[in-house]
Structure formats: C-alpha cells, structure tokens
A and B are shown apart, each in its own frame.
Chain A
Amino acid sequence: METLDDLKGGWKQGRDLDAPSLPLKSTEFNQLINGRLKKEQRLVWHYAVKTYIWSVMVFSYLSYLMITSWGDWRLFAVCAVTMAIYIIFTTVFMKRFKRFFAVECAAQQALDLRQGLQMKLKELNGFYQFKRIFDWIMVPLSCMVIALSVNNLAFDADFTEHLWFNMCTFILYSAAFTYVTFRDNITYFKVPMEKLNAVIKDMEGD
C-alpha cells in the first residue's frame, strides 16, 4: 500500500510538472491585471451602480407622482416617506459597500490566515445584517410604489377603487422581489458565510 511518505518523494520530484506558465512578461501580466480589474468593476456595477440607477429611477418617478398628483396628500406622504428612506438607505448602503471592499484588502494583509478569514466573516456578516434591514424596508416600499404606478397608469383612479387588483399587483411584485432577494442573499451571503464559519471553526477545533 502507498503511504504518504512514499508519495512525498514523488511530490518533491513532480509537483510542478504540469504547472502552467505564469504571465511573466510585462504585457501579459498587465493584461491579466486589467482583466481582473474589469471583473471587479462588473461586481461593483452589480451592486453599487444598479442600486444607484434604481434609486434615480425611483426618485424621478416619485417626483413625477408628487407633481402630477398634487392635492392627493396620501400619495404625497407615501412618496415623501419613500424618498426620505431611500436617500438615507442608499447613502448608508454605498458607504458600507465601500468599507466592504476596504476590509477585503485589509484581510489579505492580516497577520495570518485565520485572522484574515475572521475579518472577512465579520464584515460580510455586518453587511448582510444591514442588507436584511434594507431589504425588509425597501422591498415593500418599492412594491408599493410600483402598485401605485400601475394603478395610476391603468385606471387613473383612487387606489381603493380597484383595491383587489392593486393588492394583487402589490403581492405579485412583493413575491417576485422577495424571491430574487432571497436567492441573492443565499448566493452572495449565506453560502460564503457558512463556508467561512466552517473553516474558522475547523481552525479553532482543537
């Protein structure tokens, strides 16, 4: 039977036999770095820019609603509250997102692997907790805005006149938003956090 010590000999001789050649020329190296930078920018696009564009769309639409429905103080109040909450949350979201990237870099410079992983887990968890609050408030608010807009476009009447239709619109959009948010949270937060937690626990195990 092959033992680890048998294989260690072979490991020394042949561990890099099929190693790919590194991009050691300056041009290839620069291409690699630029490629990764673009990838990182795409990730930033995924969170920050989409959030920003969505916010601009919401603000524009809410402003439009406030002006066109001048006199309907209930709609005005909903729009004003949504705007205020959006401004606060978007600002905090952007700040936390920026900090998240800074911690990512700091974790690479940590004293050891465990410390680096702990830093990443702590920040990921903090960001996730904030995002959960953000989701709980913004999903119903966004869906309410959509339901109001659909009502305005379809009937141009009071919200309560077609209450069942409007409730269905709200529930439908809420379900869709909740599903997407849930999937997003699992992929980008829960799974990585569980994995990090398992690795850290494994390191602390003995």
Chain B
Amino acid sequence: MEHTEQQFLSQLEAHAGIIHRICRSYFTAEELRKDVYQEIVYQLWKSYPSFRGLSKFSTWMYRITLNTAITYHRKAKRDFMEQAWVEHAEMIADSGVEEEVKAQVDRLYSAINTLTEVEKAIILLYLDEQRYEEIAAICGMTVKNVSVRLVRIKKKLEKYFKQKQVNYGNIR
C-alpha cells in the first residue's frame, strides 16, 4: 500500500503541471481552483488502481483531470481574467524578463478562458506538445477533427489578442 502511494506521489510530482494548467484554464477564481485541484488529486488517487500502464501516465492523467474539470460544478463568476489582463498590462511596463514571460502566460490563460470546454482541452493538449493522435485519443475525437478544431481555435485566439491590443494597447 505504502509502495503504491509512493509510486503515485512520485508520478504525480513528475506531471504536477498538468493539473495546475487545467485548473487555471477552466477556473478563474483562486478559491475554486484550489478546491478543483484537490478534487482532481482525489479522483486520480481513486482511479489509480485501475491504471494498468497501457497508456502513458500523462495521457491517463490528462483524461481524468479534464473529465473532472469539465464536470465540476461551477460556482464562481467569470470576471477575474479580464481584470488580470489589465493589471498585467500596467505591471509589465517596468518589470524583468521573468515577469514578462509570466505575463505572456497569463494573457494566454485569459485567452484560453474565453474558449469552450472542448476547445480549452484541445488547446491545452496542443500547447503541452501532445501529438494530434494523442489529443484525438484523449478527447475521443478523430485526428482530422482535432486539426480542424485547432485551426479554428488559433483564429479565435488571434482575434481575441487583436481585440485586447486595440483595447489596452501593445503591452510588450
């Protein structure tokens, strides 16, 4: 039992970012994110005995994490990210490289937040450099469908960035 728990924790540590990124993309309010984060770890632990290693641990983890995030009962309002964009736009002007990278990521998260649940899943997997075949296998879609969706998502996001830069100016 102890051995299994240790195995689980070490695998979880190696792929911890997956949960964080999915939580940030699907939930904007900090409190809610913490709650979902714990729920995901709990769901992963509950499902761990059924993980037989037929797929990669990360693939299995993406599937369960996305499933939990999509079906989680949402309580928070979606007004946080808009604020984050403005705050970062003001802050980045005098900050260093790391802050700029952070701000870029924040902007990307705020853009992802405008997408539908399925689009969020696809773009996150894409940004995490999963192959189209893997994205299709995780989501239960065809490879062709994934590639068509990605083109649309990219267009949507670019339109969003364009709109934001018109509203707040180029902040780089």
Is B105 in contact with A203, judged by CB distance below 8 angstroms?
Answer: no
- A109–B108 Cα distance when bound, in Å, is 30
Q: Which of B6, B9, B148, B172 has the most CB of A within 10 A?
A: B9
Q: Is the interface of B mostly helix, strand, loop or mixed?
A: helix
Chain B 2-27 residues near chain A, CB threshold 8 A: 5-6, 9, 12-13, 16-17, 19-21
Is A17 in contact with B70, judged by CB distance below 8 angstroms?
Answer: no
Is B45 in contact with A7, judged by CB distance below 8 angstroms?
Answer: no
- A18–B41 Cα distance when bound, in Å, is 18
- A202–B107 Cα distance when bound, in Å, is 25
Q: How large is the interface on A (under 10, 10 to 19, 20 to 34, 35 or more residues)?
A: 35 or more
Is A3 in contact with B161, judged by CB distance below 8 angstroms?
Answer: yes
Chain A 150-176 residues near chain B, CB threshold 8 A: none
16 inter-chain pairs at a CB distance below 8 angstroms, sorted by A residue, are A4-B158, A10-B105, A13-B101, A22-B19, A24-B13, A33-B41, A35-B38, A36-B38, A108-B50, A113-B139, A115-B140, A117-B67, A196-B71, A199-B117, A202-B118, A206-B148
Q: Chain B interface (Cβ within 8 Å of chain A)?
A: 5-6, 9, 12-13, 16-17, 19-21, 34, 37-39, 41-43, 45-47, 50, 63-64, 66-68, 70-71, 73, 98, 100-102, 104-105, 107-108, 116-119, 121, 127, 137-141, 145, 148-149, 154, 157-158, 161-162, 165, 170, 172
Q: Chain A interface (Cβ within 8 Å of chain B)?
A: 1-4, 6-8, 10-11, 13-20, 22-24, 26, 29, 32-33, 35-37, 105, 107-117, 120, 192, 195-196, 198-199, 202-203, 206
